Structure 1
């Protein structure tokens, strides 16, 4: 009886804790992928350094970004004009990106009310399409990128968005412009997206300022999202993010939390060295993380280096993805080590 009880306890322990751990995420050789990178207007100098290290592997550059003023008029930062004035060469395509951010006295990111002004009826859709195509022609780019966000939870706005991208694609085709559309992973991919544009799904911000500590992506998140993308018309692409995030004094369930902010990989490396923090690589995400305490506060940092990005790209390529975008140039330490095959 006693022996049987021991056997049962051992078996129970095996069921509860004896599961074989999943193999850690890591980079490996894979089928070739094309590579697109974002260059932001606020980090041109550092971005140029990253581009110099990576440019032989880059197929396209996106100039980020055109936004709007309080009246819904497109606003182009002077830095974007400067970026567009420097052509990347015949081999590298370039795109002009449009966001639904509002600039001015009160900056608003991913503003849903702005989208209603831009897309609310057929007349406003036509004006928005004409404005986008006109700017693309002015800057003599290969194509347009649409990075409107924060609309999917409003079903009526989602329907207006679908009408808009169909008309935008038609106008781009007529004007010999390519169109790539960036989508959040929470968007319903089966909503009825028009065939023709390239759809780029953001595989990042799994963890971030909205949550507790963790990586911007992990294997399970990548697998789940790529599987959902089968509902989208092809061609498909995915986007991964450099850098990471820090959380100060994060308590259970977020009941206590101090500063939370995104940081670059360069900032993360500096913080680890400054505070003599031991850095570890997470098996589920290949991301690096560390903790340090100073002035009575504890801070946890998670970030991606080139090994992290290569592991994520490997995972995506193994699941049939042939095009990858990297958000973003600037603030990295070893971006030139990214592999495209």
Structure 2
């Protein structure tokens, strides 16, 4: 009997040693040694919760080199396309850049995904008389939205430009309001009045929010689609890090639950290159080309699944790069879905290696 008990103790001890050894091995090999190992982890643990990912996306006027081919590759994954963007000249007149118009005409003439809706995005950027630009101009918004007569005229201008361009919907991307509750009150009135006019004209309305928007203090009208920009957690003016991570996504989904209207969650492609206080935006393709040119290995950040690598440039300066790919986007979408999110958007077309067209391959 004593020998039998001794054998049992020895057997259990061996099992414990095997388990401990396995855990140590996993700890030492996780996950910085290999991008592929992390890809398998994500596809095996969370990607199977979304069988088919659909989203809307943006075409931007300053970067259209690969947008056409990317859009063709996306196929039915795209639910609608936002054309970015209409903004203001030095006389505060709305206009659409020629590149936006020509891209839209190309899509219509070639009947590319002709069954989805096209939105015209409006931003509060303004061209100055000296040729410079005022981006996210808060003073412009106060001028346009604070008075009822100004709001009415602005709405008429928006609707006229949208109909003239034969777009299906209006997307409002007015930023930098921050904690100005008085301006937010004017903004809410603007959305309410815009939606009423758009309904009469058979136009859809979509409204974008920055993460800092005080949604709990806003009495938003029902009807429009509301979109949360789930990015810029790290970027220009911050230390290195991901545009979004798991905790940030959860926070944004919870924040939008106060809205009694359709909600969408926008994720961002690409990333940034940090060198001290200098931060440069990169597309996925640019980041990959940079990594390859310096022959560096990338690893995945556990809480965001962003790819990260470091390199030293020709002048001896140290850089740190964070960027998203298909695995990153898949991971963040799954996090949002687990919190109750249903609809997604991806910023943006252009410079994506495989962030879009492989999104649902991990689910197979």
| Higher RCO, Cα 8 Å, sep 6+ | 1
Moved segments of 4+, more than 6 Å = 23-26
> Any conservation in 2 of the 1:25–1:285 contact (CA below 8 Å)?
no
Residue 223 of structure 1 corresponds to 250
Q: Distance in 2 between matches of 1:285 and 1:71?
A: 43
Compute the displacement of 1:33 (Å). 5.1
Whole-angstrom CA distance in 1 between matches of 2:184 and 2:90: 22
| Aligned residue in 1 for 2:62 | 42
Deviation at 1:231, TM superposition (A): 1.2
Pick the aligned partner of 1:134 from 133, 157, 160: 160
**In the alignment, which residue of structure 2 is the partner of 1:263?**
282
Paired position in structure 2 for 1:159: 185
Is the aligned partner of 1:30 residue 2:56?
no
How many Å separate the matches in 2 of 1:25 and 1:52?
27
Alpha-carbon separation, structure 2, partners of 1:63 and 1:231: 28
For residue 90 of structure 2, give the secondary structure of its aligned residue in structure 1: coil
| Residue in structure 1 matching 2:86, options 63, 66, 69 | 66
1:49-97 Cα offsets, whole Å, 9 max, x none, are 2212212311111000001112221021001111222324432211100
Shift of 1:29: 2.4
Contact 2:120 2:169 survives alignment (8 Å): yes
SS at match of 1:42: coil
Q: State the Cα distance separating 1:318 from its structure 2 match.
A: 1.7
What is the aligned partner in structure 2 of residue 12 from structure 1? none
Q: After superposition, where does 1:290-329 map in structure 2 within 5 Å?
A: 290-294=309-313, 295-329=315-349
Q: Does 1:97 align with 2:121?
A: yes
Whether 1:108 and 2:134 are equivalent positions in the alignment is yes
Q: Secondary structure at the match of 1:150?
A: coil
Deviates more, 1:115-124 or 1:29-38: 29-38
Q: SS of the counterpart of 2:133?
A: coil
- Name the counterpart of 2:300: 281
Tell me the number of residue pairs that the alignment of Structure 1 and Structure 2 aligns.
Answer: 313
Report if aligned partners of 1:306, 1:337 keep a CA contact under 8 Å in 2: yes
The higher radius of gyration belongs to: 2
Aligned to 2:17: none
Cα pair 1:266 1:333 within 8 Å, conserved:
yes
Query: Structure 1 25/116 Cα, relative in aligned 2: closer, same or farther at 3 Å?
Result: farther
Corresponding residue of 1:183 = 209
TM-score (norm 2): 0.82
Q: How does the TM-score come out when normalised to structure 1? A: 0.88
Superposed CA RMSD in Å reads 1.9
Inter-partner Cα distance in structure 2 for 1:123 and 1:211: 40
Match of 1:9 in 2: none
Task: For 2:135 and 2:117, locate their aligned partners in 1 and report how far apart those are by CA, in whole Å.
Answer: 27
2:272 pairs with 1:241: no
Secondary structure at the aligned position of 2:333 is classed as helix
**Aligned twin of 2:74:** 54
- Cα distance between partner residues in 1 of 2:350 and 2:114: 23
Matched, 1:204 2:231: yes
Report the secondary structure of 2:47's partner residue. Answer: coil
Partner of 1:336: 357
| Aligned partner of residue 44 in structure 1, secondary structure | coil
Stretches of structure 2 lacking an aligned partner (at least 5 in a row): 1-26, 31-37
**What SS does the aligned partner of 2:64 have?**
helix
Deviates more, 1:86-95 or 1:136-145: 86-95
Match of 2:171 in 1: 145
TM-superposed CA distance for 1:319, in Å, is: 1.6
